[in-house]
Amino acid sequence: MEKNVRRAAGSLLVVGLSGTELTGLERAWLRVIRPAGIILFKRNIADVDQTRALLNEATGLSALHSARCVDVEGGTVNRFRDALGPMPSAQAVARASLHPTLSAKQGGKNGAPNSLAREHGDLIARTVKAFGCNTTLAPVVDLGLPASAEVLGTRPPAADPAEVVPFARGFLEALAAQGVAGCGKHFPGLGSADLDSHFVTPEIARTVHQMWDEDLVPYRQLHRLMPIIMTNHAAYPRTPSKAAPSSASQFWITNVLRKRIGYRGLVFTDDLEMGGILKFMEIEEAVVTATRAGSDLLEICHSVELILRAFEGLLAEAEKSAAFRRLLLQRATEVERKRARLYSGIPRRLTPKQFDKLRDRVARFLDKVTALSQGDSFAPRASSPAEHV
């Protein structure tokens, strides 16, 4: 297999690491794969200096213009909670913005950007940059409907798209102002999912018309502000995608997101180790199918075995199919161009004094939002791995 095909296959993968330092094995396979990016979890984070050193070494063995990803949504999903402090959830910020003591402008009514959401996004962007990352996989723009309350908790801003949109607009604009890439998730919407896609493939009994008028409203209105959109592993049997997870669905990614909505950014799969996809197909089939469906970046967060199998699966399909080989090379070129536009350098290191000031700002913002929203929840729930890995 020629070198540029191997490079193309690796450049579509975003991978996780095992701990706070690279192992010898990780250095070896990173050199072989040269992935598009690294995603961090709590297991990778001890403090600022260690995290930045880990990222610098890992991305030095990766493709140029690497994505340095982390999940910092606020609330229960915040990988830097222990290293910096808790951040209020999207739902608490959206709820606080409606407090009667705030002005209409601050509340983000009628679709106007939400000023509390801007502050939320600004603090998260500064936090992400302090630890050396350039991407936060936020905001969640799923609708906070009763069906998904036990699964998503306080992660969605609100149940009504008219409230989700101003929150997400303010949040995304603040990220962009700080040079941090945001990620709208989980396309096309998990608001009606009563099962966790970490374990199974949820079946959402909504029609395309229902999805278009409700769940897809944040993407329809804000897709130009979303450098990255993450697809989920739910199935929508009342739509043309039938039983297939949306992360492997040409209908959702190409027909709806690309063509009908007009999205031009990076399409990023949710973790391909999750039961929602692996109980449907093997990892080799998953990465090939997701690529054919229109995905740009394929996320594999934990298993070295699955990362290597995914890489080899892409190569095997490229060797077997000339059409897939052309697609792989074309997709890699497009993704490299988009990454180069998004990621121009390593975020500046803060001084200890600046870091302490950021910690204080985060704590004060938490107190303000908690008071205005009448409380928030930060305790991880064992039923949702997204909240504590």
Q: CA separation (Å) from 23 to 13, 14, 30, 68, 379?
A: 19, 18, 11, 19, 31
Distances (CA, A) of 52 to 57, 67, 129: 9, 13, 10
Q: What is the residue range of 360's domain?
A: 3-375
Residue 387 in any domain: the answer is no
| Residue that is written with structure tokens 């209105």 in the block | 221
Q: In this predicted structure, what is the pLDDT of residue 382?
A: 41
75: CATH:
3.20.20.300
Phi, psi of 91 (to 5 degrees): -65, -40
Give, rounded to a whole angstrom, the gap between the first and last alpha carbons of the chain. Answer: 36
Q: Examine residue 17 and state whether it is found in any structural domain, yes or no.
A: yes
Query: What span, in angstroms and rounded, lies between the C-alpha atoms of 282 and 306?
Result: 10
DSSP string over 221-278: HHGGG-SEEEE---EETTSTTEEEEGGG-HIIIIIIIIIII---SEEEEPPTTSHHHH
Q: How far apart are CA 172 and CA 183, in angstroms?
A: 8
In a domain, 138, yes or no: yes
> Minimal CA–CA distance to 66: which of 46, 48, 40?
40
* Structural domain contains residue 93: yes
Rounded Cα distance, 69 and 59, in Å: 11
| Integer Cα distance of 74 and 90 in angstroms | 6
Distance set, CA 360 to CA 75, 186, 315, 342, 352 (Å): 17, 31, 49, 29, 12
Q: Please give the tally of structural domains in the chain.
A: 1
Compute the 3-state secondary structure of the chain and give helix, strand, coil in percent, each to the nearest 5: 50, 10, 40
| Token pair belonging to 140 | 């969640």
Cβ distance 12 to 331 under 8 Å? yes
Task: Going from the first residue of the chain to its last (389 residues), give the mean pLDDT of each consecutive group of 10, the final group possibly shorter.
Answer: 89 98 98 98 97 98 98 97 96 90 53 83 98 98 96 96 96 98 98 94 96 98 98 97 95 98 98 94 97 98 97 98 98 98 94 98 96 64 52
What is the rounded distance in angstroms from the CA atom of residue 81 to the CA atom of residue 180?
Answer: 19
Report, as residue numbers or ranges, the catalytic residues: 198, 270
Residue 381 in domain: no
The pLDDT score that the predictor gives to residue 383 is 45
Is residue 389 assigned to a domain? no
Tell me if 383 is assigned to some domain: no
Residue 354 located in a structural domain: yes
Q: Which residue has the tokens 């630890």?
A: 131
